[in-house]
Amino acid sequence: MMLSERAREEIIKTAERFPERRTALLPALRLAQDEQGYLSSQVLVEVAAIFELTPAEVEAVASFYTMLKRRPTGKHLIQVCTNLPCALSGAGELLDHLKARLGIGVGETTPDGLFTLETVECLGSCGTAPVVQIDEDYHENLSAEAIEAVLARLAGG
């Protein structure tokens, strides 16, 4: 899949805003991922061309950041925070519940391609622990019952 014309324009606009164009590389990778779900080798080559870099240089940057995915994930990405404050507030139980409910382990995707389960370090929301991020949204003070309702909504929609 090629990068859309709109994405290219936005990347070039961002590059022109900063004194050095390469500042727009990370935003470009984020944008490419938003559009395609993950960063394929082909899209890295395209991005590299925009910045006049080698694909290896772009790959080196992409592999550094945990939010940049080099493989497709499920339709919804479920990220359970397991850092200490969340772990003290039931994140372990929540993770076990999700594993059993979805029938997958951490780092895996359900066979229907709907959900990918990951653990993450502190999401910066420890006052409302435990916290799970699903796609862009935070779900706070989560119980097993509450996450059931969220999953049902996502599976339906």
What are the tokens at 15?
């590059």
Within residues 31-70, the interface with other proteins by CB under 8 A covers 51, 59-70
Of the pair 84, 152, the CB lying nearest other proteins is at 84
| Residue 56, φ and ψ in degrees, nearest 5 | -65, -35
Per-residue x/- track, 91-120, other proteins (CB under 8 A): xxx-xx--------xxx----------xx-
Rounded Cα distance, 32 and 22, in Å: 15
- 88 near other proteins, rule: CB under 8 A: yes
Rounded Cα distance, 86 and 116, in Å: 20
Helix (H) or strand (E) segment spanning residue 155: helix 144-156
User: CB 55 → other proteins: shortest distance, Å?
Assistant: 13
Helix (H) or strand (E) segment spanning residue 29: helix 25-36
Residues making contact with ligand FES (CB under 6 A):
81, 83, 85-86, 122-126, 129, 131
In sequence order, what are the beta bridge partners of 76?
Answer: 115
Of the pair 61, 134, the CB lying nearest ligand FES is at 134
Of the pair 64, 153, the CB lying nearest other proteins is at 64
- Rg of the chain over CA atoms, in angstroms? 18
* Footprint on this chain of other proteins (rule: CB under 8 A): 17-20, 22-27, 29-30, 51, 59-70, 82-85, 87-93, 95-96, 105-107, 118-119, 121-129, 133, 136-138
